[in-house]
Amino acid sequence: MTQNFTGSFTQQEPIPQAGLDAAMAVMQHGRLHRYNTAGDEIAEAALLEEEFASQTGAQFCLAVASGGYAMTTALRACGVGHGDRVLTNAFTLAPVPGAIAAVGAAPVFVGVTEDLVIDLDDLAAKLDQAKVLLLSHMRGHICDMRKLMALCDAAGVTVIEDCAHTMGAAWDGISSGRWGKFGCYSTQTYKHVNSGEGGLLISDDATGMARAIMLSGSYMLFEKHRAAPPPETFAQIKYETPNISGRMDNLRAAILRPQLRDLDTQARRWNDRYDVLAAGLADVTRLTLPHRPPEENFVASSFQFLLLDWDKDKVQQVLQRCAARGVELKWFGGAEPTGFTSRYDSWRYAASEPLPNSDRILAGIVDMRLPLTFSLDDCALIAQIIRAEVMAVYQAA
């Protein structure tokens, strides 16, 4: 008898009890706006920033309305504006080129390797085209960060990291988000902590963070922050920086603080699930798993494999057969962008040069969410289904 999977690929875990209690307390006192504090009360948003700075080792942190907002703010704080060009990944999600477009700049797309990281040779060839790289650690795959930083430093290119899928991850012992000038995180429901919507920005750069705080809509209340540069850093910046409101509120911050304390445990749980899937899909003919080097301390909130150089209709057959058995797979090779999945050539507001090597890889990327509501047995069953259906389509060919 063939067994089908019946779990939901979009169902996350509930907010932990400590988050529910903290949220109730905020709603009961009613001071949801981060600058609405009574007496010497410290706002939940300010405490969240202080705790996330200490967790990542960053000097400064700012809580904002979304991951996309964190990226546009980082770009603006680095002086990127109308007509500028920004290097970024060809393999990423729409909010990344969207953040570049939001500040009036244009992306220069850099290719992807079979290990699903940015192609450092392609990057090296394009470094003279922009002053900033918005590096997306897409789906949690982290490139050789020492090499990348050496290339960018030598070319005078500022790095901003999109860590939407690498909160809690590291390369060679250094947290993702700590390599570049800014690290940007999302706390949206599908990321590593869940406040519905939300974002975090970290940096060691005092001027850059003072600009980011003013940009986020701090009025002249920046002294209410704790993980912020000293007031003197704001002396000129407070007059020169527009207020583009995108603050986080105390309710979301209250929900997030207990989740951040659990991040390492959750990361281990994700990786246990990844290991079961990877073991179940090892040695399947014509199915490749991206290589994960020992320096890469990833957090596997999703799972990818490649069906490289397959006919498109065969890939589609695999997706359909898996879907019929309850396994929801996303594909980066489809002709049309669907759901959360789109490709650099789907973003028609941004001109792009063809990237034939990346096109070949994108056409083979199959992607799956890995919510923590899946048990290890669920993951074993999912692997078994994918394995069987890939082999069935391959053998029929």
Ligand X SMILES: *Cc1c(COP(=O)(O)O)cnc(C)c1O
* Site residues, ligand X (CB under 6 A): 66-68, 92-93, 95-96, 136, 138, 162, 164-165, 186, 188, 199
Question: Could you tell me if 23 and 254 are in contact, meaning their C-beta atoms sit under 8 angstroms apart?
Answer: yes
DSSP letter, residue 236: H
Q: For 130-156, give the DSSP string.
A: -SEEEEE-GGG----HHHHHHHHHHHT
Cβ closest to ligand X, residue 68 vs residue 229: 68
β-pair type (132-136, 85-89): parallel
> 215 or 287, CB closer to ligand X?
215
Give the tokens for residue 233: 């850093």
Q: Which two tokens stand for residue 390?
A: 């890939």
Whole-angstrom distance, CA of residue 171 vs CA of residue 140:
11
Kindly state the smallest distance separating residue 181's Cβ from ligand X, in Å. 17
- For ligand X, give the closer residue by CB, 199 or 364: 199
Q: What angle do CA 362, 366, 370 make, to 5 degrees?
A: 135
Name residues whose C-beta falls within 8 Å of residue 312's C-beta, 6 or more positions apart in sequence.
333, 363
CB of 186 vs ligand X, minimal distance in Å: 3
Residue nearest to ligand X (CB): 67
Q: How far is the CB of 138 from ligand X (least distance, A)?
A: 5
Q: Which is nearer to ligand X, 202 or 237 (CB)?
A: 202
Judged by beta carbon, residue 165 or residue 343, the one nearer ligand X is 165
- Shortest reach from residue 1's CB to ligand X, in Å: 38
State the nearest-atom distance from the C-beta of 163 to ligand X, in Å.
Answer: 8
Per the CB < 8 A criterion, the answer to whether 182 and 161 are in contact is yes
**Residue position matching structure tokens 């903290």:** 22
- Residue 67 CA to residue 348 CA, distance in Å, equals 22
Residue 57 phi, psi dihedral angles, 5° rounding? 85, 10
- Residue 350 in contact with residue 100, Cβ under 8 Å? yes
d(CA 354, CA 361): 13
Please state the closest distance from residue 329 (CB atom) to ligand X, in A: 17
Question: Between 92 and 250, whose beta carbon lies closer to ligand X?
Answer: 92
Minimum separation from the CB atom of position 98 to ligand X (A): 8
Sheet of 296-297, strands arranged across: 174-175, 170-171, 296-297
Q: Of the two residues 186 and 216, which places its CB atom closer to ligand X in the complex? A: 186
Nearer to ligand X, 61 or 383 (CB): 61
**Toward ligand X, which CB reaches closer, 198 or 229?**
198
Residue 287 in contact with residue 305, Cβ under 8 Å? Answer: yes
Could you tell me the smallest distance in angstroms from the CB atom of residue 378 to ligand X?
A: 23
Give all strands (DSSP E) within 288-364, no chain letters: 296-297, 302-306, 330-331
The distance of closest approach from Cβ of residue 41 to ligand X in the complex, given in angstroms and rounded to an integer, is 28
Q: Contact 352/103 with Cβ under 8 angstroms?
A: no
85, containing H or E segment: strand 85-89
